[in-house]
Amino acid sequence: MSTITRFAPSPTGRLHVGNIRTALHNWMLARRAGGRFILRIDDTDAERSREEYVAAIKADLAWLGLDWDHEERQSSRLERYQTAFAALQATGRIYPCYESAQELEVKRKIQLGRGLPPIYDRAALKLTETERAAKEAEGIAPHWRFLLDHDEPIAWEDGIRGMQKFDPAQLSDPVIRRADGSWLYMMPSTVDDIDMGVTQVLRGEDHVSNTAVQIQIFTALHAAGFAAASPAANSLPSFAHEALLVGREGKLSKRLGSLGCDAFRERGIEPESIIALLARLGTSQPVEPIADRAALIATFDLASFGRAPAKFDEEDLDRLNAAIVHQLPFDAVKERLPAGMDEAGWHAVRPNLARVDDAAEWWRLVTGPIEPPEFTSEDRAYLAEAARLLAWGDNPWASLTEALKQVSGRKGRALFLPLRQALTGMDHGPDMAELLPLIGEGEARARLARAAA
């Protein structure tokens, strides 16, 4: 059976680093197996879903290079959810409830006050037909819950967490449909996984209890005769739940707005850096500046994932980004470089960059103007000699420094630093052997002469 994974964001906001990690791991899981990666837009919440967020999600995934093989929209599958709902209703696995949100909150507080888990008490199941009719006559529209089977535990072998067992009696019967007829997450997601033949569901550990519920919904749908068009798609997916990301101070939730693709782009973070970090964050494999995605995919393994929270540190991302930038070929960045910078210029400045945008500042050393420091009279005489001895050839820097070494007796810092300062106005920077040919003979001689004067 072909591996099929899915990423199912709700278009109620922008992607943040946690979403990106989930998308990446599902993409890698599918690509390693030669399978399919589905993008499913979970837009059943019509009030909060926005088309602008759909476009932004797709643009961010494209920028990251996470291509999808198929796209679905839940809003176009409402009839399918109605069919599943009817099947469950016919077998008694869905029941109407009439409590208001305020009434349910009071019940929860009472249970918590008694030291009990805040589980729905199934009071609606005790209503008679007459009592239900009376409530609806009052204009109270029901919401609908899925009736969990309490007879046996829910168990599965999790791809990361190992054997998982839940006592369904310790779970609330989940609301699957609101009083206004709109759908909540539980049933539509299960129906989609059946219809789309999803074989592996990989998501955050905050969904573990959802998985327990959805396994029962999946089983109940099959028992009710609801099946996907393809028989191969009627098998329960395998599940894996990865540890959530945390920051230095704990949860990332308060800062997610600054941890999205827009913020990363503004900071000059390369998509390859984000991929390299998130691909292995939380695993036993080392996080390394690997720009080759094929290499990352080849080593992707759920068995390497740990149970401890994965720490996301922006400083780690910055360091990784600098290392990735130092690997980027000219063709990958040429459209983003300052005017006039060719491949030789890129190779000269690349080792000094933390981000590609920094190239403009270093390129100024070639194009000028520069401001050299004040030199001592001894250094001015030394620079005047340098202007006289400058000779152009295959390696003018080596020729110049060797000639100056012979005539001045200088070496080390005394030999090189005044030259760098006169030619670039800085104490550090790109390799002068690469930079000097870019400055050019005439400009280099003029800069030395000006510094000497």
- 254 annotated as ligand-binding: yes
- Separation between Cα atoms, residue 85 and residue 100, nearest integer Å: 22
C-alpha 322/C-alpha 63 separation (Å) is: 19
Burial-class residue 453 by CB neighbours within 10 Å (0-12, 13-18, 19+): exposed
Residues 6+ apart with CB under 8 A from 273: 289, 317, 320, 321, 324
> Which two three-digit tokens encode residue 146?
């899925």
Phi then psi dihedrals of residue 314, to 5 deg:
-65, -30
Q: What is the dihedral of CA 66, 72, 73, 76, to 10 degrees?
A: 170
| Three-class HEC string of the chain | CCCEEEECCCCCCCCEHHHHHHHHHHHHHHHHCCCEEEEEECCCCCCCCCHHHHHHHHHHHHHHCCCCCEEEEHHHCHHHHHHHHHHHHHCCCEEEECCCHHHHHHHHHHHHHCCCCCCCCCHHHHCCHHHHHHHHHCCCCCEEEECCCCCCCEEEEECCCEEEEECHHHCCCCEEECCCCCECCHHHHHHHHHHCCCCEEEEEHHHHHHHHHHHHHHHHHHHCCCCCCCHHHHCCCEEEEECCEEECCEECHHHHHHCEHHHHHHCCCCHHHHHHHHHHCCECCCCCCCCCHHHHHHCCCHHHECCCCEECCHHHHHHHHHHHHCCCCHHHHHHHCCCCCCHHHHHHHHHHCCCHHHHHHHHHHHHCCCCCCCCCHHHHHHHHHHHHHCCCCCCHHHHHHHHHHHHHCCCHHHHHHHHHHHHHCCCCCCCHHHHHHHHCHHHHHHHHHHHHC
What Rg, from alpha-carbon coordinates, does the chain have? Answer: 32
Tokens of 184: 């909540």
Binding residues: 254
Binding residues for ATP: 254
